Structure formats: C-alpha cells, structure tokens
Amino acid sequence: MTDRDTHPATARVLINEIEGHLLVTATREEGRSAAARFTALFDWLTSHQRAEVEHRFEAEYLVLARGSWQRTAERAERLRGEYERRYRALRRRLLIGSLVGWCAVLGCAGALALARA
C-alpha cells in the first residue's frame, strides 16, 4: 500500500484547493485585463479614478465568475443525480431480465428432464 492509497481523500481535498486557488487567480487576472481594456476607453479619468474603476470592475468580474461556477456546479450535481437514477433503473431492468431468462432456461431444463424420465 502506498502513501497515495492511505490518504486519497486528504490528497483530493488538497488538489481541489490548489485547483480552486489557480482558477480564482486566473480569473482575477482576466478581470484585471478586462478592466484595463475598459478603462482605456475613458482617457479623461484620473489615475486614481482609473484605479478605482479597475478595482471595482475586477471585483464584479470575480463575483460574476463565481456565480457562473456555482450554477455550473449545481447543474452538474442535478445531472449526476439524474444519470445515477437512470443507471440504477437500467441495471435493475437488466438484472430482472437476466433473472427471467435464467428462470426460463431452468424451467425448460426441468421440463426436458421430466420429459425424459
């Protein structure tokens, strides 16, 4: 057994936290870039005003991104539940069909055995 096998949940949590941090960092950078492009259109802003608008734009960009991520995660969870329900139903149908098939085979075998006796 490796160390990876003994602590898979802890490792997965750590990986998820790192991925989340990287995603937020990348999104903040996207927000900064978008803010800079936006404020470039307003050459009459002072440097302080430009910095304030960029800061607020970046913050709003991150809020919108998080909302989008949340909706995506909620939709993924609903889809997962739906697919799991369908999978269980199909598996149940397959099991029942297999049991019916085996019962038919055993019934025919029993009937043949009785007919030969």
pLDDT digits (tens, 9 = 90+) for 56-103: 999 999 999 999 999 999 999 999 999 999 999 999 999 998 888 888
Q: Who's near 11: CB < 8 A, 6+ residues apart? A: 4
> Distance (Å, rounded) from C-alpha 102 to C-alpha 106?
6
As a whole number of Å, the CA-based R_g of the chain is 30
Buried b (16+ CB within 10 A) or exposed e, 45-79: eeeeebeeebeebbeebeeebeeeeeeeeeeeeee
C-alpha distance from residue 76 to each of 13, 81, 83 (Å): 19, 9, 10
User: Which residue is it, tokens 């440097």?
Assistant: 47
pLDDT in tens, 14-73: 998 999 999 999 999 999 999 999 999 999 999 999 999 999 999 999 999 999 999 999
Q: CB–CB of 55/37 below 8 Å?
A: no
